[in-house]
Structure 1
Amino acid sequence: MDKTGKSLTGLALQKFRKNFWGVLSLVFIVLLLFISIFAYLLAPDKTQNANWGDLSIHSKSPGFTVTMLHFPADLSSNAGFAKYFTGETNPELKIPILKYQVSKDSLTYFEYTDEPSLAVSKTIPLSEFKTTDKATIEKEYIRTQRFLLGTDSQGRDLLSRLLVGSRVSIAIGFVAVFISLVVGIFFGAIAGYYGGKTDAFVMWLVNIIWSIPTLLLVIAITLALGKGFWQVFVAVGLTMWVEVARVVRGQVMSIKQMQFVTAARALGYNNRRIIFNHILPNSMAPVIVISAANFASAILVESGLSFLGLGAQPPIPSWGGMIKDHYNYIILGKPYLALAPGIAMLLLVLAFMMVGNALRDALDVKSE
């Protein structure tokens, strides 16, 4: 391979492109990011948090199809571009039905039930609709809806919840890793570079935090900050920086003894420039691997918090919360309710680990 005239970044990108699984994983992550951002465009249920459900159709198998009776509603509040990112705040009313009959001035329908003999019939006047024409009513207000992945325990579309829930899992991974990198790199860099009492204080702080079980520390921070969407992200991030700090500290202690750092000091560069422009860029390979592992840990910690009721609060969907709500269905003959978000979480975590390993190999200046 000809390396003449190529920068280190160019060589790293060239090596990364040759890693099939790394490139494939990166494409999967980008695709999932696109899906999470435009979740409401792709989800069959476009209500806010994909929260529409009916208990009469709960826990239905993938591919379940039902007839829906829609009622006219004022959808003016759903107008605008924002609904494509936040969902519809005022969805139209719809009811699952078994069958219906339209007469001259009324519509009689039977509400959906697993036992047709127990179906309850109701009659409503055609004045409820914007028209009294039978053909128009059947075309505009009576539609067949298909649930590709079935429905959950509350009768909500599982596919829609899965798509919208990807936002929480991806966001908590990115935010928690970002916080852990900022805090961990800062403390690790000053501890490794300055040494002495600064190093002793940082390592004392790291050991104290590391001695507390992660989940208990996250719970304590969450209770201090309060329950909420962003509070969980901050709490998880503040418990994951210790590993980053230890790795960065070791890298800085090793690199600061090298000749190019001595040359930088001789040229009169200040400590901040030496740390951030010369030492840290040469110590990022192991940090990237740690970040990929921390991404997986953040998702798992969020799942644990959701199980305890401290994660993303209902009705906000999250993969961890979906597993918590349906884990008992694994032994009740409908394991897909918990396996679907579990498999999605597995693929996302695996993709980040593969990308982390590929970047580590690409950024390793010692490898050919």
Structure 2
Amino acid sequence: MSKHSPSGKIWIKFKRNKLAFCGLFFLGLLILLGILGYLVTPDQSPMANTMHLQLSNKKPGRTFHFLIISKKTDVKRVNLLGKMLYGQPVDFMSIPVTTYRQEGNKVYAREYIGDDERAEETIYPLVQGNNRYTQTFWLGTDLYGRDLLSRLILGIRVSLSVGLVAVLISLCIGISLGALAGYFGGKVDALISWFMNVIWSLPSLLLVIAISFALGKGFWQIFIAVGLSTWVDVARLVRGQVLALKEVEFVEASKALGFSTFRTIMKHILPNIAGPILVVASANFASAILLESGLSFLGFGAQAPMPSWGGMIKEHYGYIIMDAAYLAVLPGFAIMLTVYAFNLLAIGLRDAFDVKSENVTV
């Protein structure tokens, strides 16, 4: 990409906006963590759903010793790609212990039941191989004794995937309707504009809830619900841009040459408004993440045990007034930083594509 090309100049202007570049770096880090998934989580079980109820609401940084009390022989080992995408099912049962000693083929251990309580010593059969392990919960454990860090990392996938698919749906609908309204005008424009104003007048969250009721609860339904509620911004923008461009010389020339309406819109109009579309898509990405989090909090989004930032807040918001507020604050902070990063990216793209701004010297 040459410095003197239009794309090169846009990239230079974008890099000069340090906040926008930091937002892009943060989003790149989130995407990397989301792709690696289970490969970087301490709990590599599917959905990071390994529960130890004795370890409920333990503080960040606590380390516990575990005793494997039985093995499962019917659990299949997955390859690296399968592990990265879906996790590795656990092939053993374990309990947290405070003391451990082995005599012959028996193990005498005291199960952990609390910091101030001491359990009776129990006899367990000796499991061949490595029958003990230690785990540090860097961000503590949740209500069910699950590793909070693992669930926060896997929650990245939910938020970014919902945002991506919802934005793609909104772009498809918004660009199509906006281009038709702006290019043809007249009754077509009046009808589409009336429909956009009806959708625009409805609160986004209530509209998404209504669509969720129609489609049912679930992870995939939320993609469609959020996408169908965020296309109006795109359509209004595209309509205005097409209205401004359809009378310019190169569009008139394409009509005079007999090019079809589809080709004129796709190859001559839309490429010239790609910048504003990218800006509104970045802003809609942030809105989609907020909508998904709100729906998960209300119980319409990702269903348990799938880790979702909104669902994690729902499970632990009661601890905000107790000594474990971080259980709700950490996923809330993750939502805030992600939305803020997308907003910074949108601002950076807006400034980079602003042809009226100061010229870039290279």
SS in 1 for 2:50: coil
Aligned to 2:55: 57
Distance 2:59 2:175 in 1: 48
TM-score normalised by L of structure 2: 0.92
> Contact (CA 8 Å) 1:75, 1:90: kept in 2 or not?
no
Aligned to 1:73: 72
Distance 1:342 1:40 in 2: 22
Q: Does 1:94 align with 2:94?
A: yes
Aligned to 1:134: none
SS in 2 for 1:45: coil
Shift, 1:80, TM fit: 2.2
Identity of aligned residues (%): 49
SS in 2 for 1:94: strand
Aligned to 2:286: 296
SS in 1 for 2:110: strand
Distance 2:37 2:123 in 1: 37
C-alpha offsets along residues 191-225 of structure 1, whole Å, 9 cap, x if unaligned?
01100111111112112222222222212211222
Structure 1 runs (4+) greater than 4 angstroms displaced = none
Aligned to 1:201: 191
Residue identity opposite 2:139 in structure 1: L
SS in 2 for 1:324: helix
Cα distance, 1:174–1:231 mapped onto 2, change above 3 Å = same
Distance 1:332 1:117 in 2: 22
> Contact (CA 8 Å) 2:290, 2:339: kept in 1 or not?
no
Shift, 1:116, TM fit: 4.5
Distance 1:278 1:20 in 2: 33
* Equivalent in 248, 256, 265 of residue 258 of structure 1: 248
C-alpha offsets along residues 239-260 of structure 1, whole Å, 9 cap, x if unaligned?
1101111111111111222233
Distance 2:117 2:265 in 1: 76
Aligned to 1:354: 344
C-alpha offsets along residues 11-61 of structure 1, whole Å, 9 cap, x if unaligned?
222322333222222222122111111110100000000000111111111
> Contact (CA 8 Å) 1:66, 1:146: kept in 2 or not?
yes
Q: 5+ unaligned residues in a row in structure 2: which ranges?
A: none
Aligned to 2:323: 333
Aligned residues: 355
Residue identity opposite 1:249 in structure 2: R
C-alpha offsets along residues 146-175 of structure 1, whole Å, 9 cap, x if unaligned?
100000011000000001111001111111
Distance 1:48 1:213 in 2: 36
> Contact (CA 8 Å) 1:289, 1:353: kept in 2 or not?
no
Shift, 1:114, TM fit: 1.8
SS in 2 for 1:77: coil
SS in 1 for 2:101: strand
Shift, 1:118, TM fit: 4.6
* Equivalent in 17, 23, 26 of residue 24 of structure 2: 26
Distance 1:120 1:278 in 2: 78
Residue identity opposite 1:18 in structure 2: R
C-alpha offsets along residues 54-107 of structure 1, whole Å, 9 cap, x if unaligned?
111111111011111123333751232312220112442111112122223421
Aligned to 1:247: 237
Residue identity opposite 2:191 in structure 1: F
Aligned to 1:211: 201
SS in 2 for 1:93: strand
> Contact (CA 8 Å) 1:45, 1:160: kept in 2 or not?
yes
Aligned to 2:104: 104
Cα distance, 1:199–1:156 mapped onto 2, change above 3 Å = same
Distance 1:27 1:197 in 2: 45
Residue identity opposite 1:29 in structure 2: L
TM-score normalised by L of structure 1: 0.91
Aligned to 1:12: 10
Distance 2:152 2:115 in 1: 29
Aligned to 1:136: none
SS in 1 for 2:96: strand
Q: 5+ unaligned residues in a row in structure 1: which ranges?
A: 132-139
Distance 1:79 1:91 in 2: 12
Distance 1:263 1:363 in 2: 25
> Contact (CA 8 Å) 2:276, 2:353: kept in 1 or not?
no
C-alpha offsets along residues 304-332 of structure 1, whole Å, 9 cap, x if unaligned?
21122110011100111111111111111
Shift, 1:356, TM fit: 1.6
SS in 1 for 2:229: coil
Distance 2:45 2:354 in 1: 47
Aligned to 1:125: 125
Distance 1:305 1:190 in 2: 32
Shift, 1:9, TM fit: 1.9
C-alpha offsets along residues 276-310 of structure 1, whole Å, 9 cap, x if unaligned?
22222222333222222211211111122112211
Distance 2:327 2:189 in 1: 49
SS in 1 for 2:76: helix
Distance 2:131 2:89 in 1: 20
Aligned to 1:365: 355
Aligned to 1:135: none
Residue identity opposite 1:89 in structure 2: P
